[in-house]
Copies of this chain bind each other. A is one copy, B any other.
Amino acid sequence: MLDFNVHFPTRIRFGRGKIEDLGKEILCYGNKVLLVYGGGSIKRSGLYDQVLQIFRDNNITHVELSGVQPNPRISSVRQGVELCKKHEVHLVLAVGGGSSIDCAKIIAAGAGYDGDAWDFFTRKAKINYALPIGTVLTLAATGSEMNANAVISNDDTKEKLGTGSPVLIPRFSILDPEYSFTVPPEQTASGTVDIMSHIFEQYFSLTPETFIQDRLAEAMLKTCIHYGPIAIAQPDNYEARANLMWTGSLALNGLLGAGKRTDWATHDIEHEISALYDVTHGLGLAVLTPYWMQYVLDEQTAPRLAEYARNVWEIEEKDNIIAARAGIKKTADFFKSMNLARSLKEIGVEAEYLAEMAKKATSQGSLGAFRKLEYQDVLNILQAAYGGDM
């Protein structure tokens, strides 16, 4: 196990009707809020009206940034920053999924910065300060509601980049699984894969003797595998939504990666795909993940991949390589069982751009840690995932 520092400062309010705590939580930080959300779903569900009623009941004034897209854009961030500066906002409240939350985070950072918020992604500026952030989560997927990270897309440069800072960790997050009842099956499946991918990126590591972290990761993977299909088949199954939502938060709050070298190559590759094609992040991950696993499988990585197969998929096979292959197949089949696309071709990626994506993904150097990937490796993975013959 490696040395580590961790901190989980987000106050979690989890369960039915927890929105009733929203006013009290906001008032810890002030009474002027920037409300950040996406499309009309929170209006259709009545959540928007509920939030506004809470604002009125608590004498909280607010301004709004709506229309935040999946793969949130730096242009939305810039609008939000303007609003914060103009209205001297005290807290940025995201109501929605990871896109709204990520957008809110960078708005909160931008509000205290004189330059352009894209500077945080080009490493021109570091995030040392941000307005307090709160979230009301409506979708189990990104884990952004409990962590320090944000990913933003830039349409001008065709980039999708991440950044992070402890000051971006939400002060509070309200997690009511009922809000995710209306998430459609494909998004539920993508969200489940997103959670699983976060776990994989931290689970697959060569750091020795991270027993506790690895068993925790397997616990979370099993939860996704158990409840993902239930939530798809029964969208209003509270227990399924609750288990997925809490697992989504725990999967990327620092717990699983503490004490390990983590990988993140699959995420890095997927970001190039969704930067170019605006596909749902989880969908891109679902296509890539089995091919990444297949490609990185070698003598060195086989023990861990085999452990995954045995502990998560209950594969009883002594040979590590054979067990690992069986686990990879199970993974691909599981994603398929949730009706997710199995090839890049299927999700609209064009073969002629694979090389460009591989080049961009490795422009800052090799990817990953479980097995290091150079340009040709990434291209090989993309090509295999393009055909999708697993």
Contact = CB atoms under 8 A, between A and B. Distances in A.
A242 interface: yes
Contact of A12 (B7, B208, B209): B7
B1 A5 contact: no
Contacts of A243: 1, 209, 211-212
B212 A223 contact: yes
A14 interface: yes
Interface residues of A, number: 41
A53 B223 CA distance: 48
Interface stretch (A68-76, A92-100, A214-222): A214-222
Interface string A183-221: 000000000000000000000000011011001101110
Contacts of A9: 7-9
A287 B25 CA distance: 45
What is the copy number of this chain in the assembly?
Answer: 2
A13 B5 contact: yes
Contacts of A223: 211-212, 215
Nearest to A9: B9
Given A208-B239, A212-B223, A215-B219, A16 B3 contact: yes
Given A14-B3, A14-B258, A212 B220 contact: yes
A227 B214 CA distance: 14
Nearest to A216: B219
Contacts of A13: 5
A218 B211 CA distance: 12
- Shortest 4 CB-CB contacts between residues of A and residues of B: A3-B15, A215-B219, A209-B239, A8-B8
Given A1-B15, A215-B218, A246-B259, 7 more contacts: A2-B15, A6-B14, A208-B239, A211-B222, A211-B223, A212-B219, A215-B219
